[in-house]
Amino acid sequence: MTPEEALASGRWVKLICGASNQDLAGIEDLCGIFSLAGVHCIDGAVDAAVVAAIRRGIDWAEARGASRPWLMLSLSDGDDPHFRKAWFDPACCPPACPRPCERVCPALAIGLAATGAPGVLAERCYGCGRCLPACPHGLIEERSQVLAGADVPPLLAQLRPDAVELHTHPGRGVAFAERVGQLRASGVQLQRLAVSAGLEGTAQSPAALVAELWQRFSLLRGAGFRPLWQLDGRPMSGDVGAGTARAAVKLVAAVLPQAPPGPVQLAGGTNAHTLPQLTSYPLQHRIAGVAFGGVARRLLQPLLLEAQGRGRSLLADAELFPLALGLARELVNPWLERT
**Phi and psi torsions of 67, nearest 5°:** -75, 150
Task: With a cut of 50, say whether residue 301 has pLDDT above it.
Answer: yes
Domain 85-144 has CATH 3.30.70.20: yes
What's the mean pLDDT in 78-101? Answer: 91
Residue from 217, 212, 211 nearest 194 by CA? 217
List the domain boundaries for the chain. Answer: 3-82+145-336, 85-144
Question: Over 50: is that where the pLDDT of 113 sits?
Answer: no
Query: Does the domain formed by 3-82+145-336 have CATH 2.60.40.60?
Result: no
SS3 labels along 5-67? HHHHHCCEEEEECCCCCCCHHHHHHHHHHHHHHCCCEEEEECCHHHHHHHHHHHHHHHCCCCC
Q: What angle, 0 to 180 degrees and rounded to 10, lies between the N-to-C axes of helices 24-37 and 48-62?
A: 40
DSSP labels for 178-196?
A: HHHHHHHHHT---SEEEEE
Q: What is the pLDDT of residues 130-187, one digit of tens each?
A: 999 999 999 999 999 889 999 999 999 999 999 999 999 999 999 999 999 999 999 9
What's residue 114's pLDDT? 46
Residue 241: per-residue pLDDT: 86
Q: Do domains 3-82+145-336 and 85-144 have the same CATH topology?
A: no
pTM higher than the cut 0.85: yes
**Which pLDDT belongs to residue 117?**
59
The torsion angles phi and psi of 226, rounded to 5 degrees, stand at -95, 120
Q: Write the pLDDT tens digit of every residue in 270-297.
A: 999 999 999 889 999 999 999 999 999 9
